[in-house]
Structure 1
Amino acid sequence: MKGIYSDQTSCYLYPEEPSIDDKVTIKLRIPKYLGKSIGSVIFTPQKNLKNYQHKPMQLSKETTYFYFFESTFKMPDRIVRYHFEIDLIEKGKKMFYDAMGIVENRTIHDFVLVADFKTPKWSHGSIYYQIFVDRFKNGDETNDPVSHEYQYDGQEVLKKDWNSLPDPKNGHREFYGGDLQGVLEKIDYLKDLGVETIYLNPIFVSPSPHKYDTQDYEHVDPHFGVIEEDSEDLNEKYKVRTTSIKNLEKSDEILKSLIQKAHEKGIKVILDGVFNHCGSFHKWVDEMDLYGEGSLHRDDSPYKSYFYWDGTQKSYEGWWGFHTLPKLNYGNISLWKYIADIGKKWVSEPFNADGWRLDVADDLGKSFEMNTAFWRFFYKVVKKSNPESIIFAEIYKSPLAWLERQCWDSIMNYITCMDPVSYFLTGMEKHNEHYKPELLKNAEYFVNSVRWALSQLPMNSKFIALNQLSNHDHSRWMTRTTQKVGRLGPKTHEEASLGKDLDVFKIGLVTMFTLPGSPGLFYGDEIGLEGWTDPDNRRPYPWGKESEENKMLFNFTKELIKMYKEHLALRKGSFDFLDWNGGYVSYASWNESENIITVINREEKEIDVELPLWLLDKKEGKIDLLFATKDFNLEDNSYNDGKKSLKIPEKIALVFKIN
């Protein structure tokens, strides 16, 4: 039963971001083919979850194919949850419609409206580029880590040649020399590609290349910044490099310059906040005795209460058991203030970063209550300092409970993008560690997965959520197209590209850019960089050694970004699936001024489809091709009677504009 629709964009909700006591109007669309109908909204304020109110809706508009109903209410304290009841009078039946669509054989997933939840306009559908700094570009060789500079996790660190590849077991001790100067040098490259927001993996002082084991939250790591004070004595080299005030302040200046130059180019910069745990080198623990006041060596350390200790007070709890990642104890209120002040520092003058990505955000603390209480505090402190900043969290499950409490603005969008797209197009789990053939070309599973995921994101969060197909934690999207199970060690670097499928790779990028959210490239995705999961996904960018295939994919990605930027309905618009079967799916993105349709055929054969354009309230007109992953000839671009028949070639993605 297609055609019933509502969402929380301006076409169906006004205002989109209401404050307490605002008059809020919500709309519902019911297709005329269902006959005479009446819509009602069923809603409950946060304080009265067991007492849903039933409010009739009035007919507000009639178009070629639809009736539109609306209802107005006053925004109560904090939250409203609502869904719709539809009385199909001529059919003698009633049905319910919620944030997932028509309710059949499942529980209700209410639309959620959060009062005073405001998000910056720049963040809606922004195009991200994630940079793992050590592997992106070496702009200053004088700050490179030196082989044997120090021991980390039981072994000495190594400096690697830029043209070599990561070792399967030593990735967290191998350095290539990438730095912030390298990012600065490539700002024009990113601008030319079309990037709007840079997301930097952690950049603060830390003994690893990944820097998720923070040593000092208050300064940029001199190995990424500036080393002026140094020592030739390997016994003290690391200490001098990472604790010299001159080095630390000069390194902070490099970040300030990078953000300033990015802003001049119209590019935002997001930092990575690792606040669930710190690193064993942090001054609060001080495994290497670099600072002289760490709780590992001193029972009277003022930082002892920042961690969880065993009965002997000699061994702390590590996150997931990792000794190098001491779990922080948020039962300590002084830790709350310190971490919130760090959040505030980097989004304020003189640095002016544009927000935070929060690492393993749902793990913080020992209870949901502690977790949400701290993040609400952090959120308020950061937003007060910089209202135009954003906060999004790493989480692999529904974030709704956190978003309702205004802990974050949004999430890394695994649930809407990386997981369902990967399974639909390749059958591969995001680490390349499992193959699920039953999910390959399973449009029903794909549609249901995306619909559920979108129901877990209030409208404010939906368009900020970071859509990715690759990142620092999972295998490269190109390697998933090989449909091989494996990882580096049992498999070789070369096997990460054997059997790769460029058609599927391109379809994936188009899907990522056309699903609701903010499309995000992991450095090198634009040229099809391959790699198994960590550490192979962190290969150095091959500057100056790009192949013809790399250059072709760069141009493809650049054209895709250009198309995306020209059509605001893709950045922030209503979204619904039109038709699907097997390896075929079509969906629409629309606003009051344009209608975009994406068609995906993952089948290995040509298929005949009939696009139901009446679902966009279009009876006759023209359909124009905006983008295709390979050659496609639209012989006749006219349509009539609300539908358009097309022959769709095998393994292709197409984007059309409906006029």
Structure 2
Amino acid sequence: MLTKPIEAEVTDELLDTADNNYHTPEWAKHVIWYQIFPERFRNGDSSNDPTGERVNGPEGWAPTPWTSDWYDRADWEKSMGDSFMDGVYHRRYGGDLQGVIDKLDYLMELGIGALYLNPIFEAVSLHKYDASCYRHIDRFFGPDPEGDRAIIEQEDPQNPATWQWTSADKLFLKLIEEVHNRDMKIIIDGVFNHTGTDFWAFRDLAEKQDESIFKDWYAVKSFNDPYVGSVFDYEGWWGHKSLPELKEEGDTLVKPVREHIFEITKRWMDPNGDGNPSDGVDGWRLDVPEEVGKGFWKEWNAVVRSINPEAYTVGELWTSDSKEWVSGELFTAAMNYPFAKSVQRYIIDQSISTNEFLDELEEVRNSFPKDAPYVMQNLMDSHDTPRLASMVVNPGREYNEDGRPKLGFDVRKPNAEERRIQKLVSLFQYTYVGAPMIYYGTEAGMWGAGDPDDRKPMVWPDFEYDPERLDPLDRERPVDDNNFDEKLFNWYKKLGEIRNEHEVLQTGNFVPLPSDEQEYFVFARQKSSLDFAIVVINRSEEPRQIKIPLANFELPEHTYLENQLTDTGIEFSEHSAEISLPPVSGAILIPEQKDQCD
């Protein structure tokens, strides 16, 4: 039964707890991020796999085999239309929270320090950006979907006093505990611009129209009224009626909506409600925050920091305007899409010079508060973009241009030369200022065009996968082996070890070193003249003999520069060193103490 909305305890005193001075959680400077799309990461419990009823599937619907050729369509998919796209969004592979728990040690081996999970709240879709509620984890991510449904139906969605913990909720709390036991952090996706049409308040609104007590929750344009000839209509996110927009007044969400969001924020950040946030999530990634007024985000961030002053909030911000959203009152950081765009142009497309690349990076760094660059999520790909490997296969396109096969996007596996480019990109990603973020499977060799191809099931070393031989447009293509790429995994693992072992690569200043060349560049991460790392990037397809100026560094007696990637030393004089690099490669040079017995 639905009751009158409760009054949330949000006061001026609570707002005052948000320090106007920008603050970064110290832990966020030292982590490597890993983004997980839960439905496609790992099926740890086949007993909770989604059902045809859940996904509104056609007759004969069944979960898609995890190791099948991505473009191979089951009979039930073919019954939905002639195109690959007609049925692909009805697929489910059964990824769940148990699968994430089962693979935490894999992530530790990779050097990961923090997880970002795409939406995990109750929702009908595979992506979960169409929430049915915020107060519960999706029941098909937990061990007892039917039991959880019964629990959910007993509650008053508006009254937190009636909220219980479902089996899926409890498993998520166990995941948090397991993450923290490994000295890792975890953040989740907050989607507070829109819900799904299955959201409890919208269902009531759709049924009762202007008599619903939730008529002011959504941006309704008209109600169904046959007497005046009007029909029920509302604003949908980017025109998508499946994603009704929550209502704003001024620059914030309407009061009952924001109060409800504050309550669910507290629920997941301090599950026990005892004032100790150690059993809750460590922060949030916020979906399309620019589409909600800053007034709401200031109040919401104040709530977050009142619960956990060391929480991390990061906005999905795609442009240079992100600088307006990172401050003491707003977000800790942004997903660093400007970084990704610049790296693509410089290393993959080679459409800008070294000087232009450095200028673009500097402009972004200088636009944020002092410590913010160190906690930015330096991603290359995500669930919203083609995969990094496929960016390399398809150079010369605008970043996140609609990369789908119908627009000429090549869906094949990268060749050896293209993998070298991916490795060079990751080398820079792990050594530049900011926290590298890896999209699940990038380290395992996965490739794919934009949505839906960027959401394939994770490639695991303990599975044997069908070769990818089909094409969504029936074009000719090579037959591509689609198994776990151990060599690439070991490359990312090595980069993670180097970054995690050398604090200078996490918090050192970024210092470009002089060079007249445009096909390579050299920079330092430096905390002092004695504490530094030198990184060399050769994007050329030719081998290079590169001279490295050392005037700004001190190399005490009995030290040498070791290339951390090859475990070999290089010679240096008082003012310079030289290194030979193969085509499309790099080096990470760090002073090491010589063995006095040599």
> CA-to-partner distance for each residue in 1:136-173, whole Å, 9 max, x for gaps?
11111121112354438x99986322123265454433
Q: Give the partner amino acid of 1:562.
A: E
> CA-to-partner distance for each residue in 1:394-433, whole Å, 9 max, x for gaps?
10123222223521111111122x1111111111xxxxxx
Q: What CA distance in whole angstroms lies between the structure 2 residues aligned with 1:493 and 1:281?
A: 37
Contact 1:622-1:637 within 8 A present in 2 as well: no
Q: What CA distance in whole angstroms lies between the structure 2 residues aligned with 1:493 and 1:175?
A: 25
Q: What CA distance in whole angstroms lies between the structure 1 residues aligned with 2:314 and 2:551?
A: 37
Contact 1:229-1:244 within 8 A present in 2 as well: no
Name 1:216's counterpart in structure 2.
133
Name 1:565's counterpart in structure 2.
500
- Which shows bigger deviation, 400-409 or 320-329? 400-409
What pairs with 1:460-539 in structure 2 (closer than 5 Å)? 460-483=371-394, 486-489=403-406, 494-497=411-414, 501-539=418-456
Query: Match of 1:209, SS?
Result: coil
Name 1:406's counterpart in structure 2.
329
Q: What CA distance in whole angstroms lies between the structure 2 residues aligned with 1:344 and 1:179?
A: 24
* Larger RCO, structures 1/2 (Cα 8 Å, 6+ apart): 2
Q: What CA distance in whole angstroms lies between the structure 1 residues aligned with 2:64 and 2:434?
A: 37
Contact 1:280-1:324 within 8 A present in 2 as well: yes
Residue from 264, 271, 275 that aligns with 2:192: 275
Alignment of 1:141 onto 2:20: no
> CA-to-partner distance for each residue in 1:379-408, whole Å, 9 max, x for gaps?
110111112211111101232222235211
Q: Give the partner amino acid of 2:284.
A: W
What pairs with 1:567-606 in structure 2 (closer than 5 Å)? 567-579=502-514, 581-592=517-528, 594-606=531-543
Contact 1:193-1:558 within 8 A present in 2 as well: yes
> CA-to-partner distance for each residue in 1:190-236, whole Å, 9 max, x for gaps?
12222111111100001111101111000000011132537xxxxxx
- Which shows bigger deviation, 169-178 or 508-517? 169-178
Alignment of 1:638 onto 2:555: no
Q: What CA distance in whole angstroms lies between the structure 2 residues aligned with 1:258 and 1:349?
A: 13
Query: Match of 2:244, SS?
Result: coil
Query: Match of 1:506, SS?
Result: helix
Q: What CA distance in whole angstroms lies between the structure 1 residues aligned with 2:209 and 2:62?
A: 31
Deviation at 1:341, TM superposition (A): 2.2
Residue from 240, 246, 253 that aligns with 1:328: 246
Residue from 352, 358, 364 that aligns with 1:447: 358
Q: What CA distance in whole angstroms lies between the structure 1 residues aligned with 2:60 and 2:152?
A: 17
Contact 1:619-1:643 within 8 A present in 2 as well: no
Query: Match of 1:258, SS?
Result: helix
With structure 2 as the length reference, what TM-score do the two structures score? 0.79
Report which of the two has the higher share of helix: 2
Query: Match of 1:307, SS?
Result: coil
Deviation at 1:545, TM superposition (A): 3.0
Deviation at 1:462, TM superposition (A): 1.4
Q: What CA distance in whole angstroms lies between the structure 2 residues aligned with 1:228 and 1:280?
A: 20
Name 2:590's counterpart in structure 1.
657
Contact 1:466-1:517 within 8 A present in 2 as well: yes
Q: Name the Cα RMSD after superposition.
A: 3.0
Q: What CA distance in whole angstroms lies between the structure 1 residues aligned with 2:534 and 2:176?
A: 36
Name 1:415's counterpart in structure 2.
338
- Work out the number of aligned pairs and report it: 512
Residue from 257, 273, 277 that aligns with 2:174: 257
> CA-to-partner distance for each residue in 1:47-78, whole Å, 9 max, x for gaps?
xxxxxxxxxxxxxxxxxxxxxxxxxxxxxx99
What pairs with 1:615-630 in structure 2 (closer than 5 Å)? 615-616=552-553, 622-628=559-565
Deviation at 1:639, TM superposition (A): 2.3
Q: Give the partner amino acid of 2:510.
A: F
Alignment of 1:355 onto 2:355: no
Q: Give the partner amino acid of 2:235.
A: E
Flag the 1:410–1:353 CA change in 2: closer, same or farther, 3 A: same
Flag the 1:491–1:204 CA change in 2: closer, same or farther, 3 A: same
Deviation at 1:116, TM superposition (A): 3.2
Alignment of 1:395 onto 2:395: no
Query: Match of 1:540, SS?
Result: coil
Q: Give the partner amino acid of 2:498.
A: M
Flag the 1:570–1:169 CA change in 2: closer, same or farther, 3 A: farther
Deviation at 1:583, TM superposition (A): 2.4
Residue from 236, 257, 264 that aligns with 1:318: 236
With structure 1 as the length reference, what TM-score do the two structures score? 0.72
Name 1:162's counterpart in structure 2.
66
Name 2:80's counterpart in structure 1.
none
> CA-to-partner distance for each residue in 1:604-647, whole Å, 9 max, x for gaps?
1122332222244679985422333xx6965x42222x222333
Name 2:107's counterpart in structure 1.
190
Q: Give the partner amino acid of 2:125.
A: S
Query: Match of 2:448, SS?
Result: coil
- Which shows bigger deviation, 590-599 or 541-550? 541-550
Deviation at 1:307, TM superposition (A): 1.5
Q: Give the partner amino acid of 1:449.
A: E
What pairs with 1:43-192 in structure 2 (closer than 5 Å)? 116-151=21-56, 159-164=63-68, 165=70, 167-192=84-109
Contact 2:405-2:449 within 8 A present in 1 as well: yes
Query: Match of 1:495, SS?
Result: coil
Contact 2:193-2:289 within 8 A present in 1 as well: yes
Q: Give the partner amino acid of 2:434.
A: G
Flag the 1:647–1:621 CA change in 2: closer, same or farther, 3 A: farther
Q: What CA distance in whole angstroms lies between the structure 2 residues aligned with 1:506 and 1:645?
A: 22
Contact 1:563-1:626 within 8 A present in 2 as well: no
Flag the 1:523–1:305 CA change in 2: closer, same or farther, 3 A: same
Residue from 438, 446, 450 that aligns with 2:351: 438
Contact 1:151-1:157 within 8 A present in 2 as well: no
Flag the 1:319–1:426 CA change in 2: closer, same or farther, 3 A: same
Contact 2:424-2:537 within 8 A present in 1 as well: yes
Q: Give the partner amino acid of 1:352.
A: G
Q: What CA distance in whole angstroms lies between the structure 2 residues aligned with 1:282 and 1:375?
A: 22
Structure 1, unaligned runs of 5 or more: 1-76, 79-113, 231-237, 287-292, 365-370, 428-436
Flag the 1:139–1:619 CA change in 2: closer, same or farther, 3 A: closer
Query: Match of 1:576, SS?
Result: strand
